[in-house]
Structure 1
């Protein structure tokens, strides 16, 4: 304490912090004043929400053990010339396993910052982990892979956004690059499919194929409960038409995605939910939820989760407004291309907010 007081007389607050840390290192070289319990309590890693441009911030407070591992990773993977996604001739993996001449040539072309080198090294490691199957084979019935859903029209015109099973939005241009090494799945609806999707009473739990087809539905990327936005990687397959215990069937036409919380809230008591699959009309194949009321009270209306409809409704409204202002673009026949910022900002908006925002954007939207 005497030394710190003497230091404070002649040094700035920043100097005091640094000199105090060095003094503590002399007094406690083994780190016993801050024990493992404190370090474990402070450990954390946050993946923040996607920004309007599709990127997201990652913040962490690492334990010494995790820090030692990640710094070692960056020491051998985050070298200039290594794991460069913009250079097709850049070696992948550790610099120790790469050809020195190839690395040197790639380093000459490498203009990335140190932070970008770190990012690309971590991304390359995660890619290798996925390819090696180290994450396991299945999670909630879905394969532990990068599962992405895209609209065929967006793929054809190479514009728009695709949705992953975790709820992340990926530009179509990036998806096309990922698809070069992907295993394709084709979801076929209605009457034609070679994949067994109807099991009746033969199985209680949905199969992997049923989970994939459920995610491929227009509303399959999140829980079907109104206003819930939990992504497909965290949902269960709910026997929506009739509960399994009451004789329900494990058929794709009777199943709907539901998060564990809302799946447990289905029942015949007040305050619980009653569900059914819509069999016809514009909402055919979707799950309708009704909150049960007290005996004698008027029934609540059925509700359907409309969150997955926002991007489509926004695109339709924007196209209609542009058509009203400029007339149909018969020459190109192209639909207006949505900006990433517009879609992400409206994903969690209410209907009124989405409509107002789309009108404002339509007015300011430049004609292509």
Structure 2
């Protein structure tokens, strides 16, 4: 019997032999539950906490369902990797769990049933100077964190949210407040789900489409239109990959979107030795 099985059997014995049952200890564990958010100086949010056994029983299968089936990196020859468009950037399990948590929170906040704050559902407000927005340089700011945010994040938010132009004079007075320009509508998102499937379009990603973000295949700021041929639904993590312009999107013969890795990913040293084109013996890994 393994140590884990022996430990579980001991728990079962304790539960059976305890004349009061598990209810008293369960109450103590329930009272000990907590979730603590601490904003760090570098802008990160440190989350610590403890869930009761009842809460753990509910939370664990949710994350198990959303986490990808990959348990370790896949090591291939570079040409095999190039042929395998479905090989996406690997993440550690803690990293993937953080991404799933972010996606669940962000997707739930967009639902009509979410509680309202100042007349709207939970809203991620990002403010950026028009000059920075046009040049793609500088930084943006959000009430959710005390540190500046990169412009790549602004591009990601623009894809799935709406933009409102605000004109402010040199004294800080608001002169004009423009109408919100919404990108992909609810009807368009439903059509994207019907076309591409019920999950994030990235292979082996099980994040439900209703939690995903809409992405412009051809960037909106460079003339890409907000229509169905130019849209896909991707989870927060894969949307971030695409907005960093390191991964590309193509479509197969059936019109299904395919996420293609960049050259630097295909040719990473740790993928193994490359096979020479002539079939000869390679001398070692290449970058």
Which interval holds the TM-score relative to the shorter structure?
A: 0.3 to 0.5
Q: Which has the higher contact order (CA 8 A, sep 6+)?
A: 2
Higher alpha-carbon Rg:
1
Q: Which protein has the bigger strand share?
A: 2
TM-score, normalising length: structure 2: 0.44
